[in-house]
Amino acid sequence: MQNPEAERSRVFTRRVALLGGAKLVAFGALGLRLHQLQVRDAPEFALDAEENRISQRLLMPARGRIVDRTGRPLADNVPVYRVRVVREQARDVAGVLRALAEVIHLPAPRREEVVASARARAPFVPVTVRDDLSWDEVAEVAVHAPDLPGIRLDSGLVRHYPYRGEFAHVLGYVGPVTERELRSDDDPLLRVPDLRIGKSGVEGGYDDDLRGKAGLLQMEVNAVGREIRELRRRPGTGGADVELTLQADLQRYAHRRLASELGASAVILDVHSGEVLAMVSVPSFAPDAFVNGVSHAQWEDWRDDPRAPLVNKATAGVYPPGSTYKMMTALAALELGILDQDTTFYCPGHLQMGRARFHCWRSGGHGSLAVVQGLAQSCDVFFYETGKRVGIDALAAMSRRFGLGGASGIDLPSERAGLIPTRAWKQRAIGEKWQPGETVVCAIGQGFVSATPLQLAVMTARLANGGYAVEPWLVRPPAGRAVPTTPAPSLGISPLSLALVREGMFEVVNGERGTARAQKLLSETHRMAGKTGTSQVKRITRAERAAGLHKRKDKPWQDRHHALFVAFAPFDAPRYAVSVVVEHGGSGSRTAAPIARDLMQKTLDLDPTGGRATAADDRPLRVTVPRRAG
């Protein structure tokens, strides 16, 4: 029989051994874990601790300026004063904002937005209340500061457009970063709360250059993220300035000259280099309104306005060119040998083709005319007959050589291409065969034919410079870099054909029977050549023509014809080309031609390019600059 005392002793000893072993294992595991935490993982925890202790913030750089060809700022940055509120200091944010509204203008809807924004953020994060305070308002807030707990004043930079709408369509505008832009652009600068980026025009197309590079601020913070002290500051790199080919005084004059029209646009080019000296579209808009996000009501007003103030009509407005297209019809026929300087057609006031009758603008007809007087008097029947013999595909081929029917490639976004039709185009786009009557209509710039004011200016520049393919451009290379140029390629048009067309354009303005003979330049030393155009926007029925309703001057604005005029000067040594389109202006000779004359006279007076630069053989230049705009 076993001794009970001995059995208990063995059990106890075994339990002590097991317990000791378990403790040894536990302390061993604990030691290994401590070694891992304190030795192996120490650098990682130190980094995490450092990141918790140091808050890094991106600093917004100054946005680059946009200047004209003389260095005059067109888009700049100006200091602004902001008022912000800190929730933990204000305690009752709504109450403090009500008190602030008695000192400065602060509508109730804006106060509600600030309260909601403050609740969504940490209590110590400042929330912007207004960022457009005047100096007087800053002084008022400072005086009442003891009664406005949690209110802070600070300053910053905001985009400023000193000429407001006069350059709006070219410059574009900036605005707050959207969620879609954050997802599509990995630049960390976009996460800076007050950053504004380009949305349209040069601001949008050259945003990468203008934006600059972010700086860095390191702040020491406590456990809840409150800032304690500044540790390090690395300033950002300001954006590069962008210089345009525009001349500010000429642009401003052009805008004022067009401003009285309900809708209009104008483009002025250097015929030898393609530099855009002025580009105007009216009505315009205030680009400053977009800086902090345009109101929904204002956006709807602009969007729904039938005059389309947000559209740059110079590059995105497409119009039937009307009689300004007749130079293309004449050149196509001259180059094919269908016309020469002595070829005449008789105009009785209409052309009969089968059962269709195509009318001339002069109901009594022009009689017999050759090409020079056909252009000078803008006889429709002369060009009906010419176009019928040339054919639509030959018309299209000549038009494309002069820049019609395709985007010019100017360094601005959202350019439209217009349309120069062909037989193949109609079959592909509409599924129908081309009809002979359609060629007749297209020959005078109606029907399917459409172009932008910029394309019409390019066409005119190429006619003026002797038939060389200059291309329009707007943004100069960065400072310190020369403008890269090569001689512009020839369009391959015979000098005689060009001379006849240019003589016809000269007679339009200076001839006894020219359609713009009342619009000679005021200068005694310079003469201008041009071409009127009046394009229909609504088909005239036989009944309306018989009743004379198509000549009524009291028609609704949207039913009136577009008025166009293109010109170049000086005639003997061309330097500048201009195109003007007045939407529903009624008559090219009465409405558009006087504007174009004034713009050309102003251009010659200012002479923005000075002595023109050409290649060694005196040919016009093709300028190749980086095309940043999409």
Q: Judge contact between 339 and 371, C-beta under 8 A.
A: yes
**Which of 371, 298, 361 is CA-nearest to residue 336?**
371
What tokens appear for 65 in the block?
């300026």
Tokens of 242: 């962008």
Both tokens of 591, joined, read: 């409405």
Q: Classify each residue of 552-589 as buried b or exposed e, where b means 16 or more C-beta atoms within 10 Å of its C-beta.
A: eeeeeeeebbbbbbbbbbbbeebbbbbbbbbbbbbbbb
Tell me whether residue 606 is exposed, middle or buried, using C-beta atoms within 10 angstroms of its C-beta: 0 to 12, 13 to 18, 19 or more: middle
323 is catalytic: yes
| Residue matched to tokens 């005392």 | 5
If you ran DSSP here, which 8-state letter would residue 220 be given?
E
Name the nearest CA neighbour of 402 among 338, 454, 463: 463
What contacts 471, CB < 8 A, 6 or more positions away? 274, 408, 409, 410, 458, 488, 622, 623
Q: Which residue type occupies 109?
A: P
Q: Which of 284, 323, 579, 587 is catalytic?
A: 323
Classify 125 as helix, strand or coil: coil
SS3 of 573-592: the string is CCCEEEEEEECCCCCHHHHH
- Neighbour tally for 469: CB within 10 Å: 19
Instruction: Work out the end-to-end distance of the chain between its first and last CA atoms, rounded to an integer number of angstroms.
Output: 104
Identify the DSSP state of 139: H
Identify which of 407, 431, 405, 430 has the alpha carbon closest to the alpha carbon of residue 419: 405
Are 373 and 507 in contact by the 8 Å Cβ rule? The answer is yes
* Closest C-alpha among 152, 195, 157, 192 to residue 56: 192
Q: Which among 273, 274, 267 has a CA at the least distance from the CA of 250?
A: 267
Question: What is the rounded CA–CA span in Å between residue 178 and residue 37?
Answer: 43
The β-bridge relationship of strands 276-282 and 264-270 is antiparallel
58 torsion bin: left (phi>0), alpha (psi -120 to 50), beta (else): beta
Q: What are phi and psi of 367, to 5 degrees?
A: 80, -155
Closest CA to 345 of 356, 324, 329, 321: 329
- Closest by CA to 8, choosing from 16, 22, 24, 20, is 16
| Active centre residues (catalytic) | 323
